[in-house]
Amino acid sequence: MGEIAQKNEMDYIEFIDLKQYFTIQEVSVQLNLSPSLLRYWEGEFPMLKPRKNRKGNRMYTRKDLDLLAQIKYLLKERKFTIKGALAHLTAKGTQVPTSMSVKERLLQIKEGLLELKKNLDQETP
């Protein structure tokens, strides 16, 4: 039984890899964002223009997914305002990572540890 479930999971992963368009619900699940937030961002970021099918449903491409991941990173992780994120994205040649690099994370940890050491040194007589 486990073998069949594993095969079905692999088929699903291959299907996702081949898929060209995604519904707003699929994007919402992939990025862990609400559909209403995705629709709101569409109005705030003019470069985000998902296609619409004959029924009027939004159909997102992989390029749209990448852009949404960048927007999410700027707004949620880097704490940019919408205006700031828009300016950052429209700046020529700007490449926004979708997550922090290991080096950046280690530098943040180092800064925190140095600050903690400084505080501890001040407390000891």
CATH number, domain with residue 67:
1.10.1660.10
Residue 20: pLDDT band (50, 70, 90) is confident
| 63-107 pLDDT tens trace | 888 889 889 988 988 898 999 888 888 885 555 555 556 666 677
Q: Does residue 120 belong to any structural domain of this protein? A: no
Residue 55 lies in a domain: yes
Q: What is the pTM of this model?
A: 0.60
In a domain, 121, yes or no: no
In this prediction, residue 88 carries a pLDDT of: 87
* Total domains present in the chain: 1
Domain residue limits at 69: 2-98
In a domain, 89, yes or no: yes
Residue 110 located in a structural domain: no
Q: What is the pLDDT of residue 39?
A: 93
- The answer to whether position 65 is within a domain reads yes
pLDDT at 113: 82
At position 121, the amino acid (one-letter code) is: D
pLDDT digits (tens, 9 = 90+) for 21-78: 889 999 998 889 999 999 999 999 888 889 998 999 999 988 888 889 889 988 988 8
Specify if 93 maps to a domain: yes
Predicted pLDDT of residue 105? 67
The answer as to whether 33 is a domain residue is: yes
pLDDT at position 123 is: 75
d(CA 22, CA 95): 24
Which pLDDT belongs to residue 4? 57
**For 6-18, what is the mean pLDDT?**
54
